[in-house]
């Protein structure tokens, strides 16, 4: 007789250390594993059924000097349902947001890192994006680090992505002038027509990024939300205004390079009295409820919109991830494992 508490547990694992750009062959979808839906007596862990996983550039960036061995399950933010709980704050059926695995079921040994979902009436997929890590990243970087003021000039790179589209809309809510860069004309149109950016440009069509920024910001940039690094950062530094602020949450152009590109215009940080601050959003999740209180009314009123790029099935995760670095996604990239 089959034990009803045993389930198959399809998962995506890493086959090898990263060398150069990520490839689909770096991943393996394992279908032979099983999981027992039970915990030892006295355990405070929970077992969750994963519903949606967020596909982000940092999910798979291991170099040979990293301590995690290959063939480990890829981890990242996701939305899940609690199916077994040994923790007093979680019950079977609770919907949660937090770090989980690219697999059908995950054991969460420290449930204190999970956040209960307060608004199940909103699309659950939003908790991988606008109400998840990307939303918090946009909120912390823009409001907490850059401290925007009405009328300031804001530039967002990778602006059509999960974080950038929100930073631009936050900027407009604050009364700023905002310009974004993206990798295609389609994305540029989305920035201007759907997200309300004042202007946008396709950086792949610009032979001189410095000239493009001077065209868009003849008076200079007060706030730069940094997602790209490399040549874009170098050009931005030439166009920042006095006392400008730069929030650096990522540098996607550099992740898969064997040798990182140099930045040549750093002296402008001194001469223009700039403040540039890098941050990990994971250090700020104590402010999640404050962020949620701010953003949910804007979602419900339609003042903030959000675009998702949804891939179906766990086996589609490697392709979705590799596509991030080729600019194939339009909006927040996520994968549906199960809808309930």
Residue 17, pLDDT > 90, answer: no
Instruction: Decide: residue 310, CB within 10 A, 0-12 exposed, 13-18 middle, 19+ buried.
Output: middle
| Exposure string over 210-220, b if 16+ CB within 10 A, otherwise e | bebbeebbeeb
Task: Indicate the pLDDT class of residue 9, thresholds 50, 70 and 90.
Answer: very high
- List beta partners, residue 311: 335
- Answer whether 0.85 is exceeded by the pTM: yes
Per-residue pLDDT at 327:
81
Instruction: Give the mean model confidence (pLDDT) for residues 125-150.
Output: 96
23-71 pLDDT per residue, tens? 898 899 999 889 999 999 999 999 999 999 999 877 765 555 555 556 7
The pLDDT value recorded for residue 61 is: 54
Task: Specify the fold of 6-129+307-336.
Answer: Quinone Oxidoreductase; Chain A, domain 1 (3.90.180)
The string of pLDDT tens digits covering residues 253-307 is 887 777 888 899 999 999 999 999 999 998 999 999 999 999 999 999 999 999 8
Q: Report the mean per-residue pLDDT for the chain.
A: 92
> Mean pLDDT across the stretch 318-332?
87
pLDDT of 314 > 90? The answer is: yes
In this predicted structure, what is the pLDDT of residue 69?
54
The closest alpha carbon to 184, from 209, 198, 156, 205, belongs to: 205
**Mean pLDDT, residues 122-131:** 95
**DSSP assignment letter at 73:** B
**Could you identify the residue written with the tokens 């594993």?**
33
pLDDT at 324 over 90: no
Kindly indicate the confidence band of residue 252, based on its pLDDT and cuts at 50, 70 and 90: confident
Within 8 A by CB and 6+ apart from 176, the residues are 148, 149, 150, 151, 152, 153, 154, 222, 223
CB atoms closer than 10 angstroms to residue 56: 23
Model confidence at 234: pLDDT above 90: yes
Residue 316: band (very low, low, confident or very high) from pLDDT cuts 50, 70, 90: very high
**pLDDT at res. 155:** 98
Whether 72 has a pLDDT exceeding 50, the answer reads yes
Q: Is the pLDDT of residue 146 over 90?
A: yes
Give 75's strand partners.
101
Domain boundaries, the chain: 6-129+307-336, 133-281
Q: For 203-225, what is each residue's pLDDT tens digit?
A: 999 999 999 999 999 999 999 99
Domains 6-129+307-336 and 133-281 share a fold: no
User: Is residue 123's pLDDT more than 60?
Assistant: yes
pLDDT: is 4 or 55 the higher one?
55
Q: In this structure, which topology does domain 133-281 adopt according to CATH?
A: Rossmann fold (3.40.50)
Phi-psi region of 158 (alpha: psi -120 to 50; beta: other; left: phi over 0): left
Q: What's the pLDDT band for 1 if we cut at 50, 70, 90?
A: very low
Angle, helices 209-216 vs 230-237, to 10°: value is 50
- Report helix, strand or coil for 275: strand
* HEC secondary structure over 16-37: CCCCCCCCHHHEEEECCCEEEC
Question: What is the reported pLDDT for 60?
Answer: 62
Lowest mean pLDDT among 248-257, 293-302, 328-337: 248-257
Residue 5: the pLDDT is: 84
Pick from 17-21, 135-139, 304-308: least confident: 17-21
């Amino acid at each position: 007789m089959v034990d009803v508490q045993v389930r198959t547990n399809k998962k995506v694992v890493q086959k090898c250390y990263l060398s150069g750009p990520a490839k689909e062959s770096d991943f393996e979808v394992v279908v032979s594993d099983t999981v027992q839906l039970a915990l030892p007596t006295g355990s405070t862990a929970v077992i969750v059924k994963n519903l949606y996983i967020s596909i982000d550039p940092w999910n798979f960036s291991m170099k040979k000097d990293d301590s995690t061995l290959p063939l480990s399950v890829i981890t990242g933010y996701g939305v899940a349902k609690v199916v077994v709980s040994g923790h007093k704050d979680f019950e079977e059926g609770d919907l949660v947001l937090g770090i989980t695995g690219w697999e059908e079921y995950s054991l969460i040994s420290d449930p204190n890192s999970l956040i209960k979902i307060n608004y199940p009436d909103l699309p659950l997929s939003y908790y991988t994006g606008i109400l998840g890590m990307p939303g918090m990243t946009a909120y912390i970087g823009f409001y907490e680090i850059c401290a925007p003021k009405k009328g300031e000039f804001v530039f967002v790179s990778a602006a059509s992505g999960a974080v950038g589209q929100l930073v631009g809309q936050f900027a407009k809510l604050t009364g700023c002038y905002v310009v974004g860069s993206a990798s295609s004309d389609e994305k540029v149109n989305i920035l201007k027509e759907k997200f309300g950016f004042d202007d946008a440009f396709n950086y792949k069509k610009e032979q001189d990024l410095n000239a493009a920024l001077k065209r868009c910001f003849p008076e200079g940039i007060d706030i730069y939300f940094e997602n790209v690094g490399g040549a874009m950062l170098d050009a931005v530094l030439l166009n920042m205004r006095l006392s400008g602020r730069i929030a650096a949450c990522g540098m996607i152009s550099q992740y898969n390079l064997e040798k990182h590109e140099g930045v040549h215009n750093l002296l402008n940080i001194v001469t223009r009295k700039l403040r540039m601050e890098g941050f990990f959003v994971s250090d700020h999740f104590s402010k999640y409820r404050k962020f949620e209180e701010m953003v949910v009314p804007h979602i419900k009123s339609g003042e903030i919109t959000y675009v998702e790029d949804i891939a179906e099935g766990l086996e589609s995760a490697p392709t979705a991830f590799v596509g991030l670095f080729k600019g194939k996604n339009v909006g927040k990239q996520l994968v549906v494992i199960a809808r309930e």
